[in-house]
Amino acid sequence: MSSSSTTGHVPYPQQVRQGVLPRPHGRSGRSPGAYRLVRTPPGPVNPPLLDAAQRAVVDHGDGPLLVLAGPGTGKTTTLVEAVAARIAAGTDPSRILVLTFSRKAAVELRDRMALRLGGARGPQATTFHSYCYALVRAHQDADLFAEPLRLLSGPEQDVTVRELLAGQIGLPGVRWPDELRACLTTRGFADEVRAVLARSRELGLGPDSLARFAARTGRPDWGAAASFLAEYLDVLDLQGVLDYAELVHRAVLLADDVALPGYDAVFVDEYQDTDPAQVRLLRALAGGGRTLVAFGDPDQSIYAFRGADVNGILDFPEAFPRADGGPAGVAVLTTSRRSGAALLAATR
């Protein structure tokens, strides 16, 4: 028989497995050798060494600026340093907004800014869709929607579209062209309809404007899509849900009607991935010559299939003019820290 059984004590590992923790000893409430959590304040962070092009972006004053930055040129480092410089100069972090496209990128930006600021409060760094969702939720009409609006997942949207299309097969008032009616129940046609719905909302088109466009261009299929869009939006409202394109569209409409938070500076990462609706939102947030610093690379525009428009970055200087009416400034980061010159030349 072990010593633990003779003394009536259960060894500490067995106590843990049995869900019994040893009582603390002493006036301090801690047993000898017990662990305690100690939070060490972050130490000073040495600023990175910036090249002349990066320093020019960090030192940028007021007004719009487009920063063209290829892979490995220190784009994220420059963005973080530009934010840190404004906060060090006295800008309230709550008056700085940082927008990006993926949750992973937003988390990385928040982590890097927190490290650079030494644990001090940083600005809001979020995705376009998260910002739009917060805006729409904050101004949700309580008389129309008893519950908070919910985002529709991709599979849910697919089911909704396919069910609506299947229900239109026998309806005499539906004007799908005869050559398309046999396709209404196919997955491929449902995917095409989803794309039309999303692109229409990204361009700011509603059912009426889409129908007028269809009549002007002689496209009966787009006319049928306009009727379908009206029915689809009614279903979303009845269910209290939004898809991602409708979310940004409604945020843009709200931006024209409500007082948005005032920002001293708005930073956008991966600007080449913006769609027309997101550009309109940025005009409401930081247009009219206000400070908007957009980082991007037209050569990395790979999301055209989901509405991204490379013309957004190409047209930035004219789309976001300075307060005096002149085109926005353009800065270029050219020093690659990731690849050699020969490899970069081969990719061009």
262 marked as binding residue: no
90 marked as binding residue: no
Could you read off the pLDDT of 132-175 as tens digits, one per residue? 999 999 888 766 666 788 999 999 999 999 999 998 876 666 68
Q: Is residue 19 part of a domain?
A: no
Could you read off the pLDDT of 191-226 as tens digits, one per residue? 999 999 999 999 999 999 999 999 999 999 999 999
Q: Based on the domain organization, do 224 and 297 belong to the same domain? A: no
Q: Based on the domain organization, do 310 and 281 belong to the same domain? A: yes
73 marked as binding residue: yes
Q: Based on the domain organization, do 154 and 132 belong to the same domain? A: no
Q: Percentage of the chain with pLDDT > 70?
A: 80
Per-residue b or e along 115-126, where b marks 16 or more CB atoms closer than 10 Å to that residue's CB:
ebbeeeebbbbb
Give dist(CA 200, CA 64) in Å, integer: 28
In which element (H, E) is residue 97 found? strand 96-100
Q: Based on the domain organization, do 156 and 198 belong to the same domain? A: yes
Give the Cα-Cα-Cα angle 34, 36, 40 (nearest 5 degrees).
Answer: 150
335 marked as binding residue: no
Q: Please give the residue range of the domain that contains residue 116.
A: 52-138+264-347
How many domains are there within the chain? 2
pLDDT value of residue 98: 98
Which residue has tokens 């644990």?
119
Confidence class for position 244, pLDDT limits 50, 70, 90:
very high
Q: Is residue 82 part of a domain?
A: yes
pLDDT value of residue 43: 64
Q: Based on the domain organization, do 129 and 204 belong to the same domain? A: no
Tokens of 242: 């939004």
Q: Based on the domain organization, do 78 and 219 belong to the same domain? A: no
76 marked as binding residue: yes
Could you read off the pLDDT of 272-299 as tens digits, one per residue? 999 999 999 999 999 999 999 999 998 7
Give dist(CA 297, CA 11) in Å, integer: 62
